[in-house]
Structure 1
Amino acid sequence: MATMTLRINEEDSKLIKKYIQLHDLTISEFARQSMLEKIEDEYDLQVLRQAMAEDDGVRISHEELMKEFGL
């Protein structure tokens, strides 16, 4: 397992410690979750931007969709 070092100011340190204590997390759990969520959010945004660029503007109503699937 890899080890990473994070340097933060005292004010941020206190805030993070209060947060992890409130949510019953370890610093490692909190850091890992936060970093992975950031990566996922950026990936999701990239996918959204690509979908928007490829959008042809065609829309169908809820009723049309239900009919198409026989519901």
Structure 2
Amino acid sequence: MAFSIRLTEDEEILARRYAALMGVSMGEAFKQALFEKIEDEYDIAVGEAAYRRCLDNPKTYSHAEVLKMFGDEE
């Protein structure tokens, strides 16, 4: 899939300099930045959901309890 975006002159200069610094094309620089942002936002959402679950059920387990639960007793 291909797409285009409009950049101001200053934004284009910054993008070109960044791509050159990273040794990649502008398309690759934008692609990397987009997926890094998606991964960051996903990680934040998953972390917040886990935190809410922890607040709803604050039970914690020791390392030994977890090993026992999963049948890996040493």
Q: TM-score range by the shorter chain?
A: 0.7 to 0.9
TM-score (norm 1): 0.76
User: Given the two structures, how large is their TM-score scaled by the length of structure 2?
Assistant: 0.73
**Aligned position for 1:34:** 33
Identity %: 26
Tell me if 1:10 matches 2:9: yes
- CA-CA distance at 1:57 after TM superposition: 3.5
Could you give the per-residue CA deviations for residues 6-50 of structure 1, whole angstroms, max 9, x where no partner exists? 101001110111111111011111111111111111111110010
| Corresponding residue number in structure 1 for 2:50 | 51
What stretches of structure 1 of length at least 5 have no aligned partner?
none
Q: Distance in 2 between the 1:28 and 1:18 partners?
A: 13
Unaligned runs of 5+ in 2: 68-72
Q: Which runs of at least 4 in structure 1 moved beyond 4 Å after TM superposition?
A: none
Aligned equivalents of 2:14 and 2:38: distance in 1? Answer: 22
Using the TM superposition, name which of 50-59 and 10-19 deviates more: 50-59
